[in-house]
Amino acid sequence: MKVMVFNSGSSSIKYRLFDMGDRSVLASGMLERIGEEDACLEHEYVLPAGGRHRITRTHPVLHHREAMRQINAALRETEAYRDASELLGIGHRMAHGGEAFREPTLIDGRTLEAIRRLTPLAPLHNPAMVTGIDEALAAFPGVPQVAVFDTAFHHTLPPHAYRYAVPREFFDRYHVRRYGFHGTSIRYVVKQAARRMGRDLASLNLIVLHLGNGSSAAAVRGGVSIDTSMGMTPLAGLVMGTRCGDLDPAAVFHLLRQTGESREQLEDVLNKDSGMRGLCGRNDMREIQRLAGAGDADSQLALDIFVYSIKKYVGAYYAVLGRVDAIVFTGGIGENSALVRERVCEGLDGLGIAVDPAKNDACPRTGGAIHRDFSRVAVLVESTDEQLEIAEQTVETLRRHGEATHLFSGCK
């Protein structure tokens, strides 16, 4: 009952191997700096006698195909599995499914070609992920593989939430609309939040704040996404580590005229050199908080803008939902920054949101409730696990398609 999950980038491949009988992690790792002489593989695996061991190897890896071979070799060498026949399936994270993919999808030639056609919607993400799928198909022949799309969770948005006020032709011909991202993470944490509250997810109205280097907010009613801050691409919405978030479109035209930069150069700046990095020169929230605490004015302003952008969406989604049962913090910043959580919720007492400072400061990495006893709205911290969610969706997709049904008896 082993399932592999891959998350492929332009110069890296992250992976995790699960035993889906008990959802345990048998091995995990990342191979980064693909295409360079000092490519590095970090591989962690479970020892036969218990405990975990890590190995690190640095040597040239010229392309993704060689990277897949190295990962496969490390998995077999450390006895995570003997051969690919032990794999029930492989799940792949895909950033953008456009309008074509509304649920996890079994990968075949037609599916892969449809994903390739979505490249104009996600030129910074989908091509590398497609390369990862190509190489995984070559490295693990005969193993069923599934694409899990970050956008799929948000296909429940109503038209008044996903349509932009642009000519109809832009929507019909060029698919310009809000898609939303972080859906795999949000799907996982809303289930965790419902379990923590002892409530049926169908009865809950939640505002989910996925805060990390990429950040988004989502309004979730009864486990169904009804609005989200990211748009046609992950560039919209909250201020992020290196992305600008919401921006007047006319600012782009102005910058093109004034700077002389090409469209591609400006797109690169808005994605990679804006957000917190653009405001204060850094995108690591730990460093920004440290410098802000030491009196650095740029870092203080960056933190103020970041928190303010989140608080505005909390208010907006409170209005959209009408009733809110819980605010859910997740992602690297949401799970680890007590200061950000405190400041986002500060001054929201009138909405029934009250954080307990002691609970907030003491909240473990595994998550917990951080609101005061009298708070009408629960405030929760939930540790996300996108890889496990992808693995679970992979199993469900294979079950739905009747793939390897003889192996499903041990998978609950």
pLDDT of residue 237: 98
CA distance 270 to 183: 22
**Which distant-in-sequence residues (6+ apart) come within 8 Å of 71 by Cβ?**
13, 15, 29, 31, 41, 43
- In tens, the pLDDT along 209-267 reads 999 999 999 999 999 999 999 999 999 999 999 999 999 999 999 999 999 999 999 99
Q: Is 150 annotated as catalytic?
A: yes
Q: From the candidates 19, 22, 108, 150, give the one annotated as an active-site residue.
A: 150
pLDDT of residue 312: 98
Enumerate residue ranges in the chain where pLDDT < 50: 405-412
pLDDT of residue 403: 66
Other beta carbons within 10 angstroms of residue 251's beta carbon come to 11
* Domain ranges in the chain with CATH number 3.30.420.40: 2-149, 199-386
- In tens, the pLDDT along 136-150 reads 999 899 999 999 999
CA distance 286 to 293: 11
Query: What's the CATH architecture for 2-149?
Result: 2-Layer Sandwich (3.30)
Query: What's the CATH architecture for 199-386?
Result: 2-Layer Sandwich (3.30)
pTM for this prediction = 0.93
Q: Is 346 left (phi over 0), alpha (psi -120 to 50) or beta?
A: beta
